[in-house]
Amino acid sequence: MLTTHRSFDSIVSSYEELAATALLNLHMEVRCRTAYSLRVALDPKTAPYLLDQDVKEPDPQILSLNSELLAYDETIVRFLREREVAFIRTGLGLLINSFLIANASTVAPINARGSGRMQLNILVLQQNLKNIEAGVDMARAANYWALFDGGADAIVTKAKEDAAKAAEENSVPIGRDPDRFTYDELKALIELCYSESLASAERGNVNAAKRNMADRLLELSEHMWQS
């Protein structure tokens, strides 16, 4: 009888381990699919950001990702308990926020219309994620790409202002503050501001862009080191 009881406990334990493994796989699957879709959307070969006209529709890859996320969410809600559903859902917004900032440099070259395209994609992702993850907030990615519209000088000015307020905001980690960014993040954004000129066929434009970019990056470094 004791042997039978132990055997039953072993079977239950095996099923619990299998369930945990399956849940982890589901958790990783949706994140890997999201990262892959965003990588494609940020690839200039498939979604150029150096545009001649404004874009009125989000990228097809973003629309496809939204559809897949909704379908995935409907499936897990149907078959899993609330606790497991929350485990899979929580953090998707943070992942997308971080990905769109950390991989910003991959979209080069980019111009103002390309930035508009990116901001439209972020807005569409935000609206869709509201149906999946409670309290999702894409403000950090939106604020980051909105900085591009002001140009390199505005980015440097913001870094200077942030440095002046750093003592008061030490309690808020930069990575969680929707309106503050690290040196590397702002450096990548300044480089993007000059990416259109650096892609020019005119050597004079390229040389001027390199000089101006070097000056702005030096200013950025000075201000960020003060914080």
160-194: pLDDT as tens digits:
988 887 766 654 555 567 788 999 999 999 999 99
For every one of its 227 residues, what pLDDT tens digit does the chain have, with 9 covering 90 and above? 545 556 766 777 777 888 889 999 999 999 999 999 999 999 999 889 999 999 999 999 999 999 999 999 999 999 999 999 999 999 999 999 999 999 999 999 999 999 999 999 999 999 999 999 989 999 999 999 999 999 999 999 999 988 887 766 654 555 567 788 999 999 999 999 999 999 998 999 999 999 999 999 999 999 887 54
For residue 2, what pLDDT is reported? 47
Q: Where are the beta strands (DSSP E) in 21-149?
A: none
Whether residue 44 has a cis bond before it, omega within 30° of 0 = no
Place of tokens 């950390």: 102
At residue 110, φ and ψ (nearest 5 deg) are -140, 150
**DSSP 8-state class, residue 138:** -
The pTM of the full predicted model, rounded to 2 decimals, is 0.88
Closest to 141 measured CA to CA, from 183, 172, 185: 185
Closest to 58 measured CA to CA, from 66, 179, 200, 50: 66
